[in-house]
Each structure stands twice: as C-alpha cells, then as structure tokens.
Amino acid sequence: MTTEGELMALFKKKKQLDSSSMKNGVGLITVTKPTSTIAEQFRTIRTNIQFSSADQQLKTLVFTSADPSEGKSTISSNVAVTWADQGNKVLLIDGDLRRPTVARSFRVSNSHGLTTILTAKQANLSESIHETEVPNLYVLPSGPVPPNPSELLNSSKMDQLLKVLKEQFDIIILDVPPVNTVTDAQILASKVDGVILVVPQGIALKGAVLRARDLLKKVNANLIGAVLNRVTDAASGGYYGGYYGGYYGTDDKK
C-alpha cells in the first residue's frame, strides 16, 4: 500500500535547477577515467544509438530531456567523446543558448560560437569551432547568450550551417534545452536525423516525459530512443548509470 506521504515523497524527489555545470562544465569521465565502468556505459550508449537504425544514416543527433537539469549536457558531451575515440570526426554543438555548458566543459572561449555565426553577415566558422584535447573532437560553443534564442535557431541560417557542417564532420551532436520549457528543442529536433531523450530514472515525472514525447512528435522529430540517467546529489555519492533503451520511439502508440 502506498500512503499519501510516500506518494508525496516521490514528488519531492523532483530535482531543483542545478547550475553547477553552467559554472564549471560537466564531468568528462570518458576523458578522465576512460577505463571506468561509467565510461564503458557511455560507449554502450553510443553503440546502441549506432545500431538503432541500421538502414538510416544518423549524422546529426539532438540530446534533450523533458525538464532542466536532467543530464543532457553530461550525456551528450561524454557520448561525443566516445564517438571521437572511435576515430570519427565529431562536432559537439552547444545548442542550449539559455544554459550553455560546452565552453566551460572543454575550456574553450565562448566569445564566438553558434550565436555569432547565426548573427554574422559573413560567418567565420574557424573562429568559433575549437579543437579539443580529445583527438577528432571539435566543439562549437553557444557564443554570447542572445535575447532571442528561438528565432536564431529557427532561421534558415541554422539550416545552412548544419548543411555545411555535415560535409565537414562525420557526426554532429547537439546539446539543446529541455523540450517542455522552451521551443528551442522542438526547433532543433525537427532539423536533425535523430533525437535522444535523457530520462533521469526515478526522478522524471511520467507525465512530463510523455508530454516531451508528444511535443517532439508534433514536429515530426525522429525520436530514436531514451537514455536512462540517474541524477543524484553529489553529496549522496552521485551515481552515474546510463543505458540506452529504444523506447518512446515514433512507433510507440501508447
């Protein structure tokens, strides 16, 4: 039997907005401890994404989640590292123009980035795209945070940019804002080959996840699966446990 108290405790589990990754970047365990079990789990996520659509080439991928602070940046950055480790030329784009982390995570300048490319008359990609210490991995940080993120992302310039970048990189990973709070994720999800939803198991509310799925379906996004993530407070021994489950696919009628 579930008492009302127990039920409410579930809701109390809902995470508060965590801004530490905006200040310090995300933990790159795939770089610092590449032989760890956690790094291996990120490689499993990559492999499962690769095998999720054998007949369709996935060149551009969006990582999003229903709500903020659910692990999008941590997972997309580490998965990008594992893709580069395989010898692919990878570009990680910070498409989260509201809570960017990529510049901090990879310690590159954020004075130029996606926003400066999208607002410039003549875009200069080389001043915005940085090589990282990980061979084959390049990053395009957000650039200075603009007043109109959705408009910028919805522009034809963004389409052109992705087209050009697809010719230069083997795989492009976009870290984007949560689906349920702003339209940015829907906009970018509609422009890429595949979308992965990060779901913090035991923390995400079912209704929120279903709403995110519906919003992505509305823009005909190719939702290829979900990464189950467990986000706990660092104080309680932060447990990283991600694995990729091919559910919430576009053929899921539930």
Ligand X SMILES: Nc1ncnc2c1ncn2[C@@H]1O[C@H](COP(=O)(O)OP(=O)(O)OP(=O)(O)O)[C@@H](O)[C@H]1O
Per rule CB under 6 A, is residue 229 in the interface with ligand X? yes
Q: Work out the number of other CB atoms within 10 angstroms of the CB of residue 124.
A: 11
Distance in Å, CB of 198 to ligand X, minimum:
6
Per rule CB under 6 A, is residue 113 in the interface with ligand X? no
Site for ligand X in 64-83 (CB under 6 A): 65, 68-74
Q: Do the beta carbons of residue 79 and residue 45 sit within 8 Å?
A: yes
Residue closer to ligand X, measured from CB, 132 or 180: 180
Residue 137, H or E segment: strand 137-140
Partnered with residue 175 across adjacent β-strands are 63, 94
Q: CA torsion sign, 162 to 163 to 167 to 168?
A: negative
Distance in Å, CB of 77 to Mg ion, minimum:
9
Residue closer to ligand X, measured from CB, 12 or 121: 12
Selected binder of ligand X within 141, 143, 178, 225 (CB under 6 A) = 178
Q: CA torsion sign, 17 to 23 to 113 to 193?
A: negative
Per rule CB under 6 A, is residue 46 in the interface with ligand X? no
Per rule CB under 6 A, is residue 239 in the interface with ligand X? yes
Residue closer to ligand X, measured from CB, 70 or 184: 70
Residue closer to ligand X, measured from CB, 53 or 183: 183
- Give the single-character DSSP code of 16: P
Using the contact rule CB under 5 A, the part of the chain among 93-101, 149-157, 162-170, 198-206 near Mg ion is 93-101
Q: Work out the number of other CB atoms within 10 angstroms of the CB of residue 6.
A: 9
Binding mask 37-76 for Mg ion (x = CB under 5 A): -----------------------------------xx---
Q: Which residue has the tokens 């054998």?
A: 54
Kindly give the pairing relationship between strand 171-175 and strand 60-65. parallel
Instruction: Give the Cα separation of 203 and 98 in Å (integer).
Output: 23
Residue closer to Mg ion, measured from CB, 73 or 78: 73
Site for ligand X in 128-157 (CB under 6 A): none
CA dihedral 80, 82, 83, 89 (to 10 degrees): 80
Tell me which residues touch ligand X (CB under 6 A).
18, 20-21, 26-27, 65, 68-74, 96, 99, 101, 178, 229-232, 238-240
